[in-house]
Amino acid sequence: MATVNTVLGPLDTARMGVTLAHEHILSSNAGIPENFPELLEEGYIDHIVEGLQKAKAGGIQTVVDATTLDLGRNVGVLAEASRRSGVNIICCTGWWTEKLRFLSGVDPDRWARAFVREVEKGISGTNIRPGILKGASDMAGVTPEQETVLRAVARAQRQTGLPIMLHSYPAGQVGRRQIAILKEEGVPLHRVKIDHSNDTTDLEYLLWLLGQGVYLGLDRYPGDNVSPLARTRTLKALIDAGFAGRVCISHDWSLARHVAGDSAIGSPEKRQKLNPHGYLYIKNVVFPQLREMGVSDTVIGKLLVEGPRNFFEGKE
Ligand SMILES: [Zn+2]
């Protein structure tokens, strides 16, 4: 029996069920929820719970929270949200793209020790352990700072066996460099998921990635720049090519009623207009599109289940 760490303890991977593999329950900046909660919308935890309860009523059983420390990770909020909503939440360790400033000279092994300690002992003095490691690179490619963190994530993977999710920038084919670094570090590529891969419609690149053995996170819905329908066409092409069990579909959506005012991720009103479905957008909008394109109900029924489970179980 394989297990995955959730914020409420280990879970049999067979019980993950319908899983969104890249979301953000609460995102802000490092230390904000615990130090400056005034900056968040009043009652933000209630809004989060409400969003998760709706997701649960629509059949979502597990959510992977891709919020690293620099994105404002707070495991206390995640545990409360999971307890109150009944949704399993898997949290992560690692780092997103926030500049390292005074930490820029820290070497990969030292970073890796911090990540491994969270996996082995728990996060922020709790016994909550991450179920996944995260690294990130964007438009600028893998910067020297990000390479340091990526090598640390790789070394933590080799010590803990946890899988890795990577924020990536497919328009620049940044996954090629990320994979090259992970290969140098000896990470088995079936333990790696290249995220935001539906920000491109370049099937040649996506099939190259899959050919390397990684999983793909098709985890932006509705997303920007590429239309939702174009994203679904890409998904359909990958299903037709036999990769239904290698993709993890998700929204990269923040349950953002928590952010006061007009933030980078938009005001609550704007966001409500953009995606009134929240964590049910895929089930309510994408699945009917797939059905119309001729994908069978059997395949659709397994889409949010098999890919994430295979990924967490490390299926080659
Ligand atoms: Zn994200």
**Could you give the 3-state DSSP secondary structure of residue 283?**
helix
Give per-residue pLDDT as tens, 156-206: 999 999 999 999 999 999 999 999 999 999 999 999 999 999 999 999 999
Quote the pLDDT of residue 49: 95
Cα of 133 vs centre of ligand 1, distance in Å, is 13
Quote the pLDDT of residue 265: 63
* Cα(20)–Cα(60) distance, integer angstroms: 8
Residues 6 or more apart in contact with residue 25 via CB below 8 angstroms: 48, 52, 63, 65, 67, 77, 78, 81, 89, 254, 255
Mean pLDDT, residues 218-237: 96
- The answer, yes or no, to whether residue 269 has pLDDT greater than 80, is no
Give per-residue pLDDT as tens, 114-124: 999 999 999 99
Residues 6 or more apart in contact with residue 294 via CB below 8 angstroms: none
Cα of 250 vs centre of ligand 1, distance in Å, is 10
Cα of 165 vs centre of ligand 1, distance in Å, is 10
Cα of 138 vs centre of ligand 1, distance in Å, is 12
Cα of 312 vs centre of ligand 1, distance in Å, is 18
Cα of 292 vs centre of ligand 1, distance in Å, is 28
Cα of 96 vs centre of ligand 1, distance in Å, is 9
- The answer, yes or no, to whether residue 43 has pLDDT greater than 90, is no
Say if CB 5 and CB 131 are below 8 A apart: yes
Residue owning tokens 């179980």: 313
- The answer, yes or no, to whether residue 267 has pLDDT greater than 90, is no
Cα of 160 vs centre of ligand 1, distance in Å, is 23
Mean pLDDT of the chain: 95
